[in-house]
Amino acid sequence: MYQHIIFSNNDGIVTITLNRPEVYHALNAAMMQEITQAIGEAGTDDSARVVIITGEGNKAFSSGADLKDAVNSSRSAGDMLEMYYNPMILAIRNISKPVICRLNGLAVGAGCSLAIACDMIIASEDAYLSLLFVQIGLMPDAGATFFLPRRIGMARAFELAATGKKVYAPEAEQIGLINKSVPAGELDKETALLASYYRTAPTLAIGAMKQVLNQSYESDLQKMLNLEVANQDKLFKSQDAAEGISSFLQKKKPDFQGK
What would the DSSP string read from start to end of 10-46? Answer: ETTEEEEEE--GGGTT-B-HHHHHHHHHHHHHHHH-T
Q: Are 227 and 212 in contact (CB under 8 A)?
A: yes
Asked if the structure places residue 230 within a domain, the reply is yes
Domain with 122 in it: what CATH number? 3.90.226.10
Asked if the structure places residue 259 within a domain, the reply is no
Burial of 166 (0-12, 13-18, 19+ CB in 10 A): middle
> What is the total count of domains within the chain?
2
Is residue 96 domain-shared with residue 84, that is, in the same domain?
yes
Is residue 42 domain-shared with residue 170, that is, in the same domain?
yes
Asked if the structure places residue 83 within a domain, the reply is yes
pLDDT for position 150: 95
In angstroms, the Cα distances linking 196 to 123, 154, 182 are: 17, 34, 17
Is residue 81 domain-shared with residue 120, that is, in the same domain?
yes
| Residue at a domain's end among 179, 199, 219 | 199
pLDDT for position 167: 98
Q: What is the pLDDT along the chain (259 residues), one digit of tens a residue?
A: 899 999 999 999 999 999 999 999 999 999 999 999 999 999 999 999 999 999 999 999 999 999 887 777 777 888 889 999 999 999 999 999 999 999 999 999 999 999 999 999 999 999 999 999 999 899 999 999 999 999 999 999 999 999 999 999 999 999 999 999 999 999 999 999 999 999 999 999 999 999 999 999 889 999 999 999 999 899 989 998 888 888 888 889 898 988 8
Is residue 98 domain-shared with residue 211, that is, in the same domain?
no
pLDDT for position 47: 94
Please give the Cα distance from 31 to 80 (Å, whole number): 13
Asked if the structure places residue 60 within a domain, the reply is yes
Asked if the structure places residue 256 within a domain, the reply is no
Is residue 214 domain-shared with residue 139, that is, in the same domain?
no
Domain with 241 in it: what CATH number? 1.10.12
Nearest to 113 by CA among 79, 95, 138: 138
Is residue 185 domain-shared with residue 244, that is, in the same domain?
no
Asked if the structure places residue 127 within a domain, the reply is yes
Is residue 133 domain-shared with residue 227, that is, in the same domain?
no
Domain range enclosing 217: 203-250
Residue 59's contacts (CB-CB under 8 Å, 6 or more residues apart) are: 21, 24, 104, 105, 106
pLDDT for position 77: 81
| Residue at a domain's end among 182, 199, 216 | 199
Task: Please report, in angstroms and rounded to a whole number, the separation of the first and last CA atoms in the chain.
Answer: 29
Q: Which uninterrupted H or E stretch holds 210?
A: helix 203-214
pLDDT for position 175: 97
Strands 120-124 and 180-182: parallel
Is residue 245 domain-shared with residue 138, that is, in the same domain?
no
Asked if the structure places residue 84 within a domain, the reply is yes
Nearest to 41 by CA among 85, 2, 83: 2
Asked if the structure places residue 258 within a domain, the reply is no
pLDDT for position 63: 96
Is residue 192 domain-shared with residue 207, that is, in the same domain?
no
